[in-house]
Structure 1
Amino acid sequence: MRIAYLHGGSIPSVWANSVHVMRMCDAFASAGHDITLYAAPGTHEADDPYAYYGVRHRFPIRTVPVPDGYSPAGYRQRAQRVRELLLEAGAPDLIYGRDPYSLVAAADVAPFVYEVHQIREDLTPPETDHRLLADPRLARLVVITHALARDLRATYPDLDPARVLIVPDCADPPRLDVESVRLPGREGVPRIGYVGHLYDGRGIDLILDVAERIPGADFHLVGGTPEDRDRWEAPCRLANVYFHGHRPPAELPGYYPLFDVVLAPYEEKVYLTGRLGETGRWTSPMKLFEYMSYGRALIASDLPVLHEVLTDRVNCLIRPPADPKAWAHAVLELIDDPGLRRSLGDEARRQVLDRYTWRHRADVVLAGLAGADPSGGTGPA
């Protein structure tokens, strides 16, 4: 099937939404589909975007700039250009995307799937999402959590439940072809890892509090823009804390196996960069699944939405997001009990490989749509 993926963000960039988009396009290509990605020009320097993200397929990427300083009017202008390019290339069999402006503009070109990760309150005009959800050519609405599906149905009571598909975020199976990195710090001490951005809602202050309580372990924080890294690293006086800054997504598989314990200390309110949106009620963090994919012993925040995937003492330990003492006790429990670390990590990896791979997700979101199965079946993840 010929699929056009419409993304309003930049490729390449340092933001998680770009990783999600590239992984989905890679999975569509792996399933045998002819996929073309339409994205904004990159905001991060990378000679080869495919190598930067570590994807296996070199699907076409068409860059379409956003005029007028990334304003809503600029996004609507860009959307019209995306529509023109789709028609010039010949209408695809299916349009897939997270960019509401381009989807509105191209809704008459082909049936479309709209993937939603939050309820948008920043769209202009405000009825943009309502228009998309009521469009008869909407083939499917993909949402990442049951919590988001419930809130969407409450916000849009006319939304047809049969069109809604709930599919969490995912991870690739562990990669064995990535060179391991060399971590700074002490030899022979436990290594506690965090991978992700450093902005508000990510629990960075909790990690530093726990690090101060456990001087016998080294804490490694991988990720963050230079500005966010400076915000936390400059005042930090802990000798057992190391900030690694942003790393290309393709390099992260070299970090995960080095950590004895990994942390996902999401706060009750999880903000996007610049506090441009709060998604803690609906979040399905990709890093959570990447931790699980590599069989790491995970400690995660006790947030209702995370219970859709996580179960305490089955595939992780769950602790209150504002209780550093409880987190320190959990870290020490895992340090002192290698059997528990192994059992939690093994079950987490098993669950990812069984139900949370990108290839599995690609097959699920397209299942039942015309031409969605070119190979005659859903292949291995």
Structure 2
Amino acid sequence: MRLVYVANSIIPSRAANSVHVMKMCDAFASLGYEVILVVPEVTPINEADLFDGYGVSRSFSIVRLPWVKMPGRGWWFALQAFFAIKRLKAGRVYGRHLPSLVLPSLAGLPTAYEAHAPISETMGKAGSFCLRVLCGARGFRKLVVISDALAGWYKNNTQLGGNDIQVAHDAASPAVNSQVSTLNRRSEGSFELGYVGQLYAGKGMEMIAAIAEKRPLFKFTIVGGDEGDIQQWRKHLQHLDNVRFTGFLPQAEAISLIEGFDVVLAPYQKRVTTAGGGGDISRWMSPLKIFEYMSAGKPIVASDLPVLREVLNDGDNALLCEPEDPDHWCEAIDRLHRESELRDRLGTKARSDFLKKFTWEARARSISMSVFNDAL
């Protein structure tokens, strides 16, 4: 069965959406689909380096379409994508670029759309119109969303009912060299806490800075972030010698660092912005880093936000803290520093939960069965 995945993600890039798209194509291919990814052509690439950079197998092909520099280029891309889908003789159509899915669905091709935010926030009235047309088309199968909270939004604000929506939290690849046991970690050296991700407002660097100030004997390693944000935080924290920034790292290197941390942090604030400082994804998000942490079997300290509680349970597979209370975070970290058995138990349970429910292959299998009724 040939599945064409359509996205307007820039590939390659450092954006989480590009990682998500590449991992899902690889996962669909592992189930037996013949997968073809259709994306904009922005810059020339070496495909061999591309697959290796994302840590995926060369199990699917990529078709690049012109990304014309003009107003409405997304709609032009959608038209080109439809002709490509017809030319490729797709049996299934899946994607994250809503305009590209309307015509295939109207043509009767089994089609599913994956949303990571309310359509009114990402595309406004035009997006709402596209969604109405898509959902009324004979080829439409389901809407896939990344959290129960986002499913609730679509149920309350669109014509979609519960049977039209599939919740599929984000995922990660199993860590090959995961070291779950932390019983002897403290004897090996200093206590190190890690964070992986962007440094946009609300992602949590504000909290890490406050904790690092209060706990100068602990080391804090920050993986990722744009160069401008890194320089800003380095200047802000220049009086501290226990915080280091690695900058962006290829995924394999980032995962290797995660496996060496004693504790990993997900200190999201009550408002979490996207690139450019706009929006607020705190109610809907399903952060990739949470699943990467779980995959590595690391003890997690995360913000106690409703959307994160869909995956993390306080005292079971993580410790949850008030998002904006540094003292609460310090108490949780101090407890993990003292209690190696607790670190081991939380990390072991997190990895167990991950392997049962949150691998890319498990996610793709759930979608193939519940959305397309394919038993692969």
Same fold at TM > 0.5: yes
Q: Please say if residues 12 and 18 of structure 2, whose CA atoms lie closer than 8 Å, have aligned partners that are also in contact.
A: yes
Code of the residue aligned with 1:273 in structure 2: it is: A
1:345 aligns with 2:343: no
Q: Please say if residues 193 and 261 of structure 1, whose CA atoms lie closer than 8 Å, have aligned partners that are also in contact.
A: yes
1:64 aligns with 2:65: yes
Code of the residue aligned with 2:2 in structure 1: it is: R
Give 1:231's aligned residue: 232
Q: Please say if residues 14 and 44 of structure 1, whose CA atoms lie closer than 8 Å, have aligned partners that are also in contact.
A: no
Code of the residue aligned with 2:104 in structure 1: it is: A
1:253 aligns with 2:221: no
Q: Once the 2 structures are TM-superposed, how far is the Cα of residue 283 of structure 1 from its aligned partner?
A: 0.9
Greater shift, 347-356 or 132-141, is seen at 132-141
Q: Please say if residues 13 and 43 of structure 1, whose CA atoms lie closer than 8 Å, have aligned partners that are also in contact.
A: no
Give 1:286's aligned residue: 288
1:161 aligns with 2:159: no
What pairs up with 1:1-381 in 2 under 5 angstroms? 1-41=1-41, 48-69=49-70, 71=71, 73-90=72-89, 92-109=90-107, 110-120=109-119, 121-123=121-123, 125-126=126-127, 127-156=129-158, 158-176=159-177, 188-237=189-238, 238-368=240-370, 372-374=374-376
Greater shift, 335-344 or 166-175, is seen at 166-175
Q: Once the 2 structures are TM-superposed, how far is the Cα of residue 327 of structure 1 from its aligned partner?
A: 0.6
Task: Write the deviation string for residues 126-175 of structure 1: whole angstroms up to 9, x where unpaired.
Answer: 4222322333321111111111111111111x213212111111111112
Query: How many equivalent residue pairs?
Result: 361
Match of 1:173, SS state, is coil
TM-score normalised according to structure 1 size: 0.90
Counterparts of 2:44 and 2:331 in 1: how far apart (Å)? 39
Code of the residue aligned with 1:134 in structure 2: it is: G
Code of the residue aligned with 1:342 in structure 2: it is: D
Task: Write the deviation string for residues 322-359 of structure 1: whole angstroms up to 9, x where unpaired.
Answer: 00111111111101110000000000000000111110
Counterparts of 1:49 and 1:313 in 2: how far apart (Å)? 39
Structure ranking higher in helix proportion: 2
Q: Once the 2 structures are TM-superposed, how far is the Cα of residue 25 of structure 1 from its aligned partner?
A: 0.6
Match of 1:159, SS state, is coil
Code of the residue aligned with 2:221 in structure 1: it is: H
| Root mean square deviation of aligned Cα | 1.9
Task: Write the deviation string for residues 90-119 of structure 1: whole angstroms up to 9, x where unpaired.
Answer: 2x1100001011112432341101111110
Unaligned runs of at least 5 residues, structure 2: 179-187
- Between the aligned residues of both structures, percent identity stands at 37
Q: Once the 2 structures are TM-superposed, how far is the Cα of residue 44 of structure 1 from its aligned partner?
A: 10
Give 1:180's aligned residue: none
Q: Once the 2 structures are TM-superposed, how far is the Cα of residue 42 of structure 1 from its aligned partner?
A: 5.3
Counterparts of 1:272 and 1:227 in 2: how far apart (Å)? 15
Match of 1:3, SS state, is strand
Match of 2:352, SS state, is helix
Counterparts of 1:39 and 1:277 in 2: how far apart (Å)? 25
Code of the residue aligned with 1:284 in structure 2: it is: S
Query: Cα 1:211–1:239, aligned 2, differ >3 Å: closer, same or farther?
Result: same
Q: Please say if residues 299 and 346 of structure 2, whose CA atoms lie closer than 8 Å, have aligned partners that are also in contact.
A: yes
Q: Please say if residues 40 and 77 of structure 2, whose CA atoms lie closer than 8 Å, have aligned partners that are also in contact.
A: no
Code of the residue aligned with 2:64 in structure 1: it is: T
Code of the residue aligned with 1:108 in structure 2: it is: L
Counterparts of 1:98 and 1:63 in 2: how far apart (Å)? 16
TM-score normalised according to structure 2 size: 0.91
Counterparts of 1:135 and 1:160 in 2: how far apart (Å)? 15
Counterparts of 1:355 and 1:137 in 2: how far apart (Å)? 28
Match of 1:333, SS state, is helix
Q: Please say if residues 19 and 249 of structure 1, whose CA atoms lie closer than 8 Å, have aligned partners that are also in contact.
A: no
Code of the residue aligned with 2:115 in structure 1: it is: V
Greater shift, 339-348 or 246-255, is seen at 246-255
Counterparts of 2:44 and 2:53 in 1: how far apart (Å)? 10
Counterparts of 1:317 and 1:174 in 2: how far apart (Å)? 21
Query: Cα 1:42–1:348, aligned 2, differ >3 Å: closer, same or farther?
Result: farther
Q: Once the 2 structures are TM-superposed, how far is the Cα of residue 305 of structure 1 from its aligned partner?
A: 1.0
Counterparts of 2:38 and 2:130 in 1: how far apart (Å)? 20
Task: Write the deviation string for residues 45-81 of structure 1: whole angstroms up to 9, x where unpaired.
Answer: 7771101100123411112232135x4x110011111
Q: Once the 2 structures are TM-superposed, how far is the Cα of residue 201 of structure 1 from its aligned partner?
A: 1.4
Counterparts of 1:251 and 1:101 in 2: how far apart (Å)? 36
Counterparts of 1:22 and 1:280 in 2: how far apart (Å)? 24
Q: Please say if residues 36 and 60 of structure 2, whose CA atoms lie closer than 8 Å, have aligned partners that are also in contact.
A: yes
Counterparts of 1:45 and 1:244 in 2: how far apart (Å)? 25
